Amino acid sequence: MKHLIDTYKHKGKRKILISELAEMGISNQQILEAFYAIPRHYFLDLVFEDQAYSNMAFQIGAGQTISHPFTVAFQTELLDVKKGDKVLEIGTGSGFQTCILCQLGTKVFSVERHLSLHQKSKKIIEFFNFNAKLFFGDGYQGSPSYAPFDRILVTCGAPEIPNELLKQLKVGGIMVIPVGEGAEQKMLKIVKINDGEVSLKEYGTFKFVPMLEHKVNSQK
């Protein structure tokens, strides 16, 4: 693959990004270390390589974007994973968030509705030798055959909390999901108390690409 080279310059920029994330309130040391271990520029087109360690979102094809580093770190912190957790991710996108979760020792199952992104992210995740399970499909369906999950992370803006995903969450499990129609979403952390009962807390406003139904066979 074309630009999978990690130089001292990249590493230096990553250290700066990590100290910025810490200043912005990310305190989980393991997450900050994962941001050092996974070179974000591997997930971007060459044209963005120089900016890969600024706190920005970038186009990744199919009209989608890789999330801001802060958003990835913030969602990961809220998800509160431990080694060995089974995590369902909705919206593989570039695969960056998937790799951060793998680096933290979780077993990731990730669903992407765009075929082109599914195929591209698969290659890069394999490059790291992570054994995540990647699906081309509609995240609204989750992954019934691998359910239930300890954690569910939605990385696109959902109009409401999908019932099917709640069903696939273990009792005591956590779901982190940005919810809201339109341009902005509220970040929610949901804990499943038992079937039919959840506790819910809000963590500020974010902007995500929308969670849309059905698979898309886009080749771009």
Which contiguous run of DSSP H or E holds residue 139? none
Work out how close the CB of 171 gets to ligand SAH at its nearest, in angstroms, rounded to a whole number: 24
Site stretch for ligand SAH (CB under 6 A), options 1-9, 28-36, 108-116, 177-185: 108-116
Q: Which of 19, 27, 54, 67 is catalytic?
A: 67
- CB nearer ligand SAH, residue 88 or residue 190: 88
The Cα 91–Cα 47 span in angstroms is 23
Structure tokens at 138: 């509609």
Phi, psi for residue 52 in degrees, rounded to 5: -60, -25
Work out how close the CB of 145 gets to ligand SAH at its nearest, in angstroms, rounded to a whole number: 16
- CB nearer ligand SAH, residue 61 or residue 148: 61
Work out how close the CB of 129 gets to ligand SAH at its nearest, in angstroms, rounded to a whole number: 19
User: Following CA atoms 8, 9, 12, 18 in sequence, which dihedral angle do they give, to the nearest 10 degrees?
Assistant: -120
110 tagged catalytic? no
122 binds ligand SAH, rule: CB under 6 A? no
User: Is the CB of residue 202 less than 8 Å from the CB of residue 187?
Assistant: yes
The Cα 171–Cα 160 span in angstroms is 20
Give residues in contact with ligand SAH (CB under 6 A): 64-67, 90-91, 93-94, 96-97, 111-114, 117, 138-140, 155-156, 209, 211-213
